[in-house]
Amino acid sequence: MNLRPALTLALLAGCYVVEPPAPQPPAPADDNDATDPWDDDDSAPIGQDDDDSAPAADDDDAVDDDDTVDDDDTIDVPPAECPSWTFDGDVDGWSLSADLALAGEQDAEGVTLVSSGDAYLWTEVDADLDACTRVEAVFAVTGEDSGWELFWERTGETGFSPDRRHAFESFVDGTLNRYVFDLTDHPEWTGELTSLRLDPRTGAGEVTLVSLELTDPSEPIAPPLDLAAVQWLHTDVSGWPVTSDLYTVALFDTTICLEHDQASVWPTVDLDGNGTDVNANPWVFVWKPDVVGSGGTWYGATWEWIRPSMPCKWREAVSGSHIKQAPFHADSGWAPSPGETLHFMISGLARSWERSAEERSQIVPLVWNSP
C-alpha cells in the first residue's frame, strides 16, 4: 500500500502580555464627602475601583459589579471541537488518490466514488486526539470483500505510517452501514492531529460516503448484552436452561476453540445420514449500530456445527458466509474486525429443526484480534 507524501502543517501559538495598570494621580477632594471611600465620580482614592462594592487592590479583580471578567484577566480558551464531515454530493474538502475518482452521477445524500487498486482520500485537520477518541463513519461499499482503514498524522510527523492505522471489515452488499469504534487504547492515538486518511476499500468497486466524524464519547458504544433484546437469526434459545460451562473460548491464528463440559454428554444427531454426528452449535452475538442516531441491535446467530470431540473450528467461519442470515448473509462480506468485542455461547442443536439437548452454556465475551 502506497502512502502519500507527508503533509506538513505549521501551527503558530499566540502570546499575550498583561501590562500592569498605569499609576493614577491622587484623587481630588469630593464635593459631597471627601472621606467617602466609594465615590461614583471617579474621585475615590487609588486602590478602590469605581465600580466595585468594596475596596480592591487594582483593576484586575476577577469580578466587578458591571463585569463578569475584567479585560486584563486571563480567560480560559475552550478546547477545539472534534471535526466531522458530511458528504452531500461532494468530497467536503478531501483530496482523492489516483485510484479513487468521483462517479459520473451524484446524490445529495452522499458522494459516490469509484475505486481501483490502492484507493484513498485525505485531508488536513486540527484535532486533539486525546479528546476525540471515537470514530463514526457511514458509507456503503460494493465489489469484492474488502476492509477499510484509517490512517492519521500528528504534529511533527512526516507521512502516514502503518503504526498509526486502524482497520475495519466492511459490509460489501451496497447497504449503508454505520461503523463505530474507539481508539482510546491505541498507543498512537494521542497528541495533535494534523492529517487524516481514509482507505474506504481496496481494489475495484464503488463507495458511497455519507459522513465521517471524530467524537468525544459520552457513553459506551454498545449496551450490555441482554438476551431479551437480541434479534435471533436462528432458534431463540434464551429460555433454554444453562447446564454447560463454556470454560474456554480461545482464538488462534487459524482456529477458534470453544470447550464446554457437556461436549460428551449431550446426545448426538447424524446430520447428513452419513455418520456426521453433531450435538451442538456455537453462537456469536454481534452489536450492529443503526445508520442514524446512537442506537443499534444485538444479533445472535449460529455459525457452525460441533462434533463431541471437535471443539475447534476455522476462525474464518465466524462470518457472514457461515451465518447466512441477513444482515450477516452470505454476500454481506461481514467478518469480525480487530478490536471488536463479540460474545460467544454453545447450545444444543438450534441452527435448523434438528435437536440434541435444549440446553445452553453461559455467554463469554471475546475481543477479536488479528491473526
pLDDT of 263 higher than 90: yes
Contact (Cβ atoms closer than 8 angstroms) between residue 171 and residue 332: yes
pTM: 0.77
Pair (290, 270) in one structural domain: yes
**HEC string of 215-230?**
ECCCCCCCCCCCHHHC
What residues have CB less than 8 Å from 65, skipping those under 6 apart? 51, 52, 53
What are the φ and ψ backbone dihedral angles of 154, each rounded to 5 degrees? Answer: -120, 170
pLDDT of residue 79: 54
pLDDT of 86 higher than 60: yes
**Domain of residue 308, residue span:** 227-367
Pair (305, 256) in one structural domain: yes
Pair (162, 276) in one structural domain: no
Pair (94, 173) in one structural domain: yes
- The angle formed by the CA atoms of residues 7, 8 and 9, to the nearest 5 degrees, is 120
pLDDT of residue 74: 54
Pair (158, 94) in one structural domain: yes
pLDDT of residue 366: 97
Please identify, among 52, 73, 94, the residue that sits at the C-terminal boundary of a domain.
73
pLDDT of residue 311: 96
Would 4 be classed as within a structural domain?
no
Please identify, among 185, 215, 245, the residue that sits at the C-terminal boundary of a domain.
215
Strands 205-215 and 165-169: unpaired
pLDDT of residue 15: 31
Question: Considering its fold, how many domains does the chain have in total?
Answer: 3
pLDDT of 350 higher than 70: yes
Q: What are 231-251's pLDDT values in tens digits?
A: 999 999 999 999 999 999 999
Would 9 be classed as within a structural domain?
no
pLDDT of residue 189: 97
Pair (269, 312) in one structural domain: yes
Strands 242-244 and 360-361: parallel
Q: Which residue, 92, 335, 293, is CA-closest to 196?
A: 92
Report the alpha-carbon distance of residue 179 to residue 291 in Å, rounded: 9
Pair (180, 95) in one structural domain: yes
Would 13 be classed as within a structural domain?
no
Contact (Cβ atoms closer than 8 angstroms) between residue 69 and residue 62: yes
Would 221 be classed as within a structural domain?
no
- CATH number of the domain enclosing 136: 2.60.120.260
Pair (113, 195) in one structural domain: yes
pLDDT of 108 higher than 70: yes
Q: Which helix (H) or strand (E) holds 321?
A: helix 320-323
Q: What letter would DSSP give residue 43?
A: -
End-to-end, the C-alpha distance of the chain in Å comes to 19
Please list the residues that pair with 167 across neighbouring strands.
Answer: 149
Pair (66, 88) in one structural domain: no
Would 142 be classed as within a structural domain?
yes
Would 10 be classed as within a structural domain?
no
DSSP for 19-63, written as a single string: PPPPP-PPPPPPSS-TT-SS-SSS-SPTTS-TT-SS--SSTT-S-
pLDDT range class, residue 38, cuts 50, 70, 90: very low
What are the φ and ψ backbone dihedral angles of 117, each rounded to 5 degrees? Answer: 65, -130
Report the alpha-carbon distance of residue 254 to residue 315 in Å, rounded: 6
Would you call 74 exposed, middle or buried from its count of C-beta atoms within 10 A (0-12, 13-18, 19+)? exposed
DSSP for 112-125, written as a single string: EEEE-SS--EEEEE
Please identify, among 35, 51, 73, the residue that sits at the C-terminal boundary of a domain.
73
Pair (194, 130) in one structural domain: yes
What are the φ and ψ backbone dihedral angles of 316, each rounded to 5 degrees? Answer: -70, -10
Instruction: Look at 56-70, 183-197, 271-285 and tell me which has the smallest mean pLDDT.
Output: 56-70
Residue 252's Cβ-side half-sphere holds a number of Cα atoms within 13 Å equal to: 9
Q: Alpha-carbon Rg of the chain, whole angstroms? A: 31
Would 3 be classed as within a structural domain?
no
Q: Which residue, 305, 311, 317, 227, is CA-closest to 262?
A: 311
Give the whole-number percent of the chain exceeding pLDDT 90. Answer: 70
Mean per-residue pLDDT of the chain: 84
Would 317 be classed as within a structural domain?
yes
Pair (45, 123) in one structural domain: no
Pair (231, 360) in one structural domain: yes
